[in-house]
Structure 1
Amino acid sequence: MSAPALVPPRPRRPANGISRPLRVFAWLSFLAEVLIIGTGGAVRLTGSGLGCPTWPRCTAESIVPTPEMGIHGVIEFGNRTLTGLVGILALAVVLLIVLRTGGRKALTASLWFAAGGILGAAAVLALGVALDFPAGPLANGVLLAAVIAAAVRSVRTTPARRDLVLLAWLVLIGVVAQALVGGITVLTGLNPFIVGFHYVVSVVLVCVTAAFLARMNRPELPRESAVPVWLRWTARGAVAALVVTIVFGILTTGAGPHSGDAAAGRSGFDAELLEHVHAWPSYALFALTIALFVGAWRQRDRTPLLARWSIVLLGAEVVQIAVGLFQARNGLPILAVGVHMVLAALTAAAMTAVVLHLTRPVTDSPILDVRAASDARAGVGA
């Protein structure tokens, strides 16, 4: 009897139809958003905020820093350059998810919008050079409008995984908008409130990229609460406390010594008082997170990912509190302040993951089969 023919194993299909390149770029986009918070903090903490005194050029005569500008120009220009990388990664995620959910037709439409936005921005810049007026903000606005228009069309015409498509576009819109906010920050001489808003948008983008990572591992299905009512309200309270903590942390920094440049103004608030006000909601956040962890751990058999992420969130807050106390008692050393800024963003990302794992799929939903069929037609299996 002849030996049975060997049948090569079928290649394993990626979970939920999400390809490996998309997963890689999604993680790179998240890491880049965190990294640029660190480099942006370095710009501020080293007094390099006006290392490039104008925008979008580094100087009125040069796109890149000149040797006379020293290390401050290099640091500021390096942060601006990283913005380009962040944008490229965000665009890659958009194109990959659009291709996966809408096919080549949707991808082509997105590329046409991108080309139109780039050409429009280039035309505005050329007009600015010809007429000798600062066209950078207007060109950025044209590009932003094109991205928003492309996003609206893409989300409305996507047959499946609109959640991922929307999140991907939000990141790209945010990156383009951040470039404009960064330019306004420079043009206003590092206004502390605009600098603070710049940081808030960065944290939001970290949360959106974290949400994309969490949601790409599950199908787009109706969901229901997986936790008791008290635990849901505890999580909501923790989110509110985190928002207040970050806002007062920004105000505290805006009143402190790290303005980004010796010539930059401060907010005028009492920095010492704000340090205490900033600490109060952080302690409330820590207490609520402990309660959240206890509740999640008690039902870890039903919601294991919620339990794991609550541990991550609690650990991040422990480290963050320790760093905060250290910097407050040691004269705000630059490295500690920078770590504190990055940890705040990572804490927000962990909180995002916790909130997204408070629910579970509704497996007996009457529209489950319809959604699954739609996903299958789009090449995104549930």
Structure 2
Amino acid sequence: MRRIRSVKPSVRFPVSASLLRRLAFASIIANVAIVVTGGAVRLTASGLGCPTWPRCTDGSYVTTPEMGGHGVIEFGNRLLTFAVGIIALAVLLAVLARRPRPRGLLPLAVAVFLGIPAQAVIGGITVLTNLNPWVVGLHFLASMLVIAAAYALWRRTVEPDGPATPTVPAALRTLALVTTLVGAAVLVVGTWVTGSGPHAGDQGAARNGLDPEAISQVHADGVFLLIGLSVALVFAFRAVGAARATRAAVVLVAVELGQGLIGFVQYFTHLPAALVAAHMLGSCLVLLAALAVLWSTRERRPVQPTPDPVPATEPAPAAA
């Protein structure tokens, strides 16, 4: 007699498109938040609140009462890294479980997830080098790269899974790319300005040796160039009737003007900590707005189903 084997149904955990979008958006918010809290560590001179890494002290992974408020602030920022990593892991697991999975989504999820420990290691190096200003700047720029990857991931979750087609002429796509690259250069020079200024993260931390006034002028010149390119995008997009791209460019100009205003006020008021923190948040917003403009120059359309082939009809028999 033939034995019938029972087959257990496979267990699946479906992930809806809306859940994946929410997780991806939460990853953007979390990565922006850790930039701001990292700035709070530096602005409160708590950069060496935990004087070593990966431990907080030579004998403890957590802060101790003797380390006071600086230790609490620095250790709290380290704990937030775990929270950001948990969100990135949740996004990665959701992408793996998603069926059907949009093309290109998995590499982005992996990049964001691996970017968190990479950024944490660079943060540890900043502590081990006693807050070397160049390493501190690299730590900030690494966070910007993770935010950019998280944004690309989120945009991929809200787009249909069709091919990307341009919505503006090639010259304007190039102008949008150049504007984004200039924005990235402004961020890099901004870290040089920070490295020359008074907020070192600790009273004994070194500065990069650049003249604060001269490098601030270079940074301001870059900002003027960025705003000029962004305004040009607004008029160019409007001229070709690209409404979505025009809206994105208008938002970018508004964010840049707000960020520029904060930058000028903080410079002429001798860099109060609250305004410096707001400027760091503004840097993240400028990056996101510039990426939104870049994405607005093309769109994905749903894949049209291939029609079934029409069966060939046999010819009618000839009349006798």
Further displaced range: 222-231 or 246-255: 222-231
Further displaced range: 19-28 or 43-52: 19-28
Partner of 2:311: none
Which letter does structure 1 place at the counterpart of 2:58? A
Find out whether 1:313 has 2:252 as its counterpart: yes
Which letter does structure 1 place at the counterpart of 2:24? A
Retained in 2: the 8 A contact 1:93–1:168? yes
The runs of at least 4 aligned residues of structure 1 exceeding 4 Å deviation read: 367-370
Query: How much does 1:18 deviate?
Result: 4.8
Partner of 2:290: 351
Separation of aligned partners in 1, 2:165 and 2:64: 57
Separation of aligned partners in 2, 1:243 and 1:77: 30
Partner of 1:146: none
Find out whether 1:277 has 2:277 as its counterpart: no
Write out per-residue CA displacement over residues 331-378 of structure 1, whole angstroms, 9 at most, x where no aligned residue.
011111111111111110111121112113367xxx8647x9xxxxxx
Separation of aligned partners in 2, 1:162 and 1:57: 40
Find out whether 1:32 has 2:30 as its counterpart: yes
Write out per-residue CA displacement over residues 196-247 of structure 1, whole angstroms, 9 at most, x where no aligned residue.
0000011111111112222211123222321123322221221121111111
Find out whether 1:189 has 2:189 as its counterpart: no
Partner of 2:116: 175
Equivalent residues in 2 for 1:142-161, closer than 5 Å: 160-161=101-102
Q: Secondary structure at the match of 2:270?
A: coil
Separation of aligned partners in 2, 1:47 and 1:40: 11
Q: Secondary structure at the match of 2:229?
A: helix
Partner of 1:324: 263
Identity, % of aligned pairs? Answer: 42
Gaps of 5+ in 1: 1-16, 103-159, 373-382
Separation of aligned partners in 2, 1:291 and 1:220: 31
Separation of aligned partners in 2, 1:162 and 1:64: 42
Cα RMSD for the two superposed structures: 1.9
Find out whether 1:202 has 2:143 as its counterpart: yes
Q: Secondary structure at the match of 2:80?
A: helix
Write out per-residue CA displacement over residues 254-284 of structure 1, whole angstroms, 9 at most, x where no aligned residue.
1111111111111111111100001111100
Partner of 2:45: 47
Retained in 2: the 8 A contact 1:163–1:220? no
Write out per-residue CA displacement over residues 286-310 of structure 1, whole angstroms, 9 at most, x where no aligned residue.
000011122223445xx44323222
Separation of aligned partners in 2, 1:312 and 1:212: 21
Which letter does structure 2 place at the counterpart of 1:90? A
Gaps of 5+ in 2: 1-14, 308-320
Q: Secondary structure at the match of 2:158?
A: coil
Which letter does structure 2 place at the counterpart of 1:66? T
Partner of 1:229: 170
Report which of the two structures shows the higher radius of gyration computed on alpha carbons: 2
Retained in 1: the 8 A contact 2:45–2:200? yes
- The verdict on how the C-alpha distance between 1:321 and 1:78 changes in structure 2, with shifts beyond 3 A counting, is same
Which letter does structure 2 place at the counterpart of 1:80? R
Write out per-residue CA displacement over residues 106-151 of structure 1, whole angstroms, 9 at most, x where no aligned residue.
xxxxxxxxxxxxxxxxxxxxxxxxxxxxxxxxxxxxxxxxxxxxxx
Retained in 1: the 8 A contact 2:259–2:283? yes
Further displaced range: 283-292 or 19-28: 19-28
Separation of aligned partners in 1, 2:168 and 2:20: 31
Q: Secondary structure at the match of 2:104?
A: helix
Partner of 1:96: 94
- With the length of structure 2 as denominator, give the TM-score of the two structures: 0.87
Partner of 2:236: 295
Which letter does structure 1 place at the counterpart of 2:251? V
Separation of aligned partners in 1, 2:72 and 2:294: 39
Query: How much does 1:26 deviate?
Result: 1.2
Separation of aligned partners in 2, 1:220 and 1:20: 15
Partner of 1:335: 274
Which letter does structure 2 place at the counterpart of 1:341? M
Q: May I ask how many residue pairs the two structures share in their alignment?
A: 293
Separation of aligned partners in 2, 1:236 and 1:341: 23
